[in-house]
Structure 1
Amino acid sequence: MTDELFETESSEADVAGAPRPQTLLLTFFGGYVLGRGVHVATASVLDVLGRVGVSEHATRSTLSRMARRGLLHRVRRGRQVYVGLTPRSREILHEGESRVWRIGAVNTHWDGTWTLLGFSLPESWQRQRHVLRSRLLWAGFGSLQGGLWIAPSTLEVAPLIEGLEAAGHVKVFQARALPPTDVDDLVHDAWDLDTLAARYAWFLERWDAAEPPNGLPDSLARQLLLQTEWLQLIRQDPRLPQQHLPQDWPAERAQKAFRALYADLEPAAKAIAAEMLDTIPDTEADADQP
């Protein structure tokens, strides 16, 4: 994943804030372009984003920026411009798809292995430190003390430090906690569980209600915002081991609510999309497959 996306995820720390246009666009492309072998008309994208309150100017600017960064491919047919995915954006979207649908919100099969990562960077490397920390947070690491970070699983660290000068200053280990270490205390020290629980509570209050958020015109808009806010939330969740979480941990209840509401919205959302989206075949459709 690109540094721009790592920083976007980390900067959206407050899930209650309105999702950025790029986050909404990635959700849209993941749901209605990925794996379908199509490019979609810019006008259709403007219409979809407008339904969740994003201005035409903001959508156009974001599409242009994503194209410059190699996340979108643009083609012209007459007076209309169509946008499609690139190998780079497909990889990002497949990862997001896996996170939403294949990986549970809680780690129920933890084998007790921690990934430990330590680094010490020169004071002048502020930018490198910021990017590295953003990547570690995105990957589910928590800061234990000083330059020591931990994650509750076996993680492949190489992609996280790829392209960074800081890579030469990073040491990585796998380990298990031994007495007298109290793992419950360790988890509370490295992660802000109260804030994370509050985010899930906010999501449930917002979506698991008789009347979901007002101001959304149809099922397509509601589904788009629902999935975007859910992905934004779980990407801030390190998936901590279930046995070291509070008994009333709300993640699984929020996941159940998300999946149920998504399924309820799906038929109508698909029908609206089929009617309104102007698409053309993607000549590189085979590359859409994982």
Structure 2
Amino acid sequence: MQNSLNTRSMIFTLYGDYIRHYGSEIWIGSLIRLLEEFGHNEQAVRAAISRMNKQGWIAARKQGNKSYYFLTERGKKRMDEAAKRIFNAQQEPWNGEWMMFTYTIPEEKRSIRDELRKELVWSGFGLLANSFWISPHAYSEQIQSMIDKYEIKDYVHSFTAVYNGPNENEKLVSECWDLNDINEKYNEFIVTYSQKYVIHKNKIEKGEMTDGECFVERTKLVHEYRKFLFIDPGLPKELLHAEWLGDHAASLFSDYYRALAGPASRFFESIYSDGNDLKKDSEFDALNHPLIQENRS
């Protein structure tokens, strides 16, 4: 089961960083071949893709004797949201308002309540009190999507407010998120990947890394950095302390990603084209990813 979960997580990474830019669809044979680079076998891939299908992230179609799996609208939306956060698009200055979301969901709908908590954490909400969540971002669209998805309109309330004390906004932050713990994880990322970046950048410049090796390293990089989606709420700069390492980690990720992007994309395309029509999105260039460029500006 653990291996299946790991395989599923890697498939999410491949869809998010590669497949969604090639029509959001892939032949299962190509997917199996790509996952072999990370030690995942065919059985694990098929089990993971089946689970994602049942969960509504992807759907299947048959063409002759080949099975293809493509992102559903729900899957595309999640990938787009994740990409914007992973590639650290610049935030607008905070207007000082908090979005608040509270619910009272009946016990017979407990499973929905558990799923809702996971969605709120992923979206960057913090739990201030029992069933009372806050975010400094205006996530009205995300909230409405959750309300519609779980059919909980009768059990929830959402509104915006300005915190009037008696403490500072930082007090709210400290009660909802452990920024010191998140900062320590960013530090671990920086220590590990700054060393890898220097080594691999030199190897790439000398022609000592294959396209396949770059593909593996780029995918591992995105896979590791993607974990911050589940712990970092993406607070505006106004709510972060001076020692915050998130920006340093984002800059390192951006530079490392660009160093690996070209060769990694070539390898992906060489495997992908074996069983798929190579329909790359015309506006996408991994070497000059628009969100990475925005982050670097």
Give the TM-score normalised by structure 2.
0.78
| More displaced stretch, 92-101 vs 108-117 | 92-101
In structure 2, relative to structure 1, the CA distance for the partners of 1:101 and 1:19 (3 Å cut) is farther
Q: Contact 2:87/2:250 (CA < 8 Å) preserved in 1? A: no
* Whole-angstrom CA distance in 2 between matches of 1:132 and 1:247: 33
- Three-state SS of the structure 2 residue aligned to 1:57 is helix
User: After TM superposition, where is structure 1 displaced by more than 4 Å over at least 4 residues in a row?
Assistant: none
Determine if the alignment matches structure 1 residue 52 to structure 2 residue 35.
Answer: no
**Distance in 1 between the 2:108 and 2:276 partners?**
49
Are residues 273 and 35 of structure 1, via their aligned partners in 2, closer, same or farther at CA, if it must alter by over 3 Å? closer
> Paired residue for 1:13?
none
* Count of aligned pairs: 264
Match among 222, 241, 244 for residue 227 of structure 1: 222
Name the Cα RMSD after superposition: 3.0
Letter in 2 for 1:280: N
What CA deviation, in whole Å up to 9, does each residue of 1:263-282 have, x standing for no partner? 00011111212222223339
Shift of 1:199: 2.2
Structure 2 match to 1:11: none
With over 3 angstroms needed to count, the CA separation of the structure-2 counterparts of 1:275 and 1:176, relative to structure 1, is same
User: Which residue of structure 2 aligns with residue 281 of structure 1?
Assistant: 277
Q: Structure 1 CA distance, aligned partners of 2:255 and 2:6?
A: 25
Q: Which has the higher helix share?
A: 2
CA shift at 1:89, angstroms?
A: 2.5
Preserved CA contact (<8 Å) 2:122 2:229: no
Q: Which amino acid aligns with 2:219?
A: L
Structure 2 partner of 1:117:
101
Question: Identity rate of aligned residues, in percent?
Answer: 25
Kept in 2, the 8 Å contact 1:38–1:279? The answer is no
Tell whether the 8 Å contact from 1:73 to 1:86 is kept in structure 2 after alignment.
no
Please give the alpha-carbon distance, in whole angstroms, between the structure 2 residues aligned to 1:88 and 1:117. 22
Tell me which residue corresponds to 1:251: 246
Where do 1:15-26 residues align within 5 Å? 20-26=6-12
User: What's the counterpart of residue 130 of structure 1?
Assistant: 114
Name the amino acid aligned to 1:142: G
Choose between structure 1 and 2 for higher RCO, CA contacts under 8 A separated by at least 6 residues. Answer: 1
Q: 1:162 aligns with which of 148, 155, 162?
A: 148
Change (3 A) 1:279 1:129: same
What residue number does 1:74 align with?
A: 61
Indicate the residue corresponding to 1:199 in structure 2: 185
Counterpart secondary structure, 2:149: coil
What is the SS of the residue equivalent to 2:175?
helix
User: Which SS does the other structure have where 1:173 is aligned?
Assistant: strand
Alignment match, 1:142 = 126
Looking at structure 1, the residues matched to 23 and 137 of structure 2 have their Cα atoms a distance apart, in angstroms, of 35
Q: What do residues 90-143 of structure 1 show as CA deviations (whole Å, max 9, x unaligned)?
A: 232222222223534xx5611101001122334554323212211211111111
CA contact (8 A) 1:117 1:149 kept: yes
Whole-Å separation in 1 of the counterparts to 2:24 and 2:158: 41
**CA distance in structure 2 between the aligned counterparts of 1:259 and 1:162, rounded to whole angstroms:** 35
- Cα separation, 1, equivalents of 2:107 and 2:77: 34
* Paired AA for residue 179 in structure 2: L
Residue in structure 2 matching 1:269, options 257, 264, 277 = 264
Q: Separation in 1 of the partners of 2:248 and 2:181? A: 17
Q: Which residue matches 2:87? A: 101
2 CA distance for matches of 1:81 and 1:123? 40
Q: Which string of whole-angstrom CA distances, capped at 9 and with x for unpartnered residues, describes residues 172-199 of structure 1?
A: 1101112423111111011121222122
Which segment drifts farther, 273-282 or 144-153?
273-282
Residue 56 to residue 45, structure 1, CA distance change in 2 (3 Å) = same
Paired residue type of 2:166: P
Mark the CA change 1:64 to 1:164 in structure 2 (over 3 Å): closer, same or farther.
Answer: closer
Distance 2:147 2:117 in 1: 10
TM-score by length of 1: 0.79
Query: What displacement does 1:69 show?
Result: 4.0
Q: Shift in Å at residue 221 of structure 1?
A: 1.0
Q: Distance in 2 between matches of 1:235 and 1:108?
A: 22
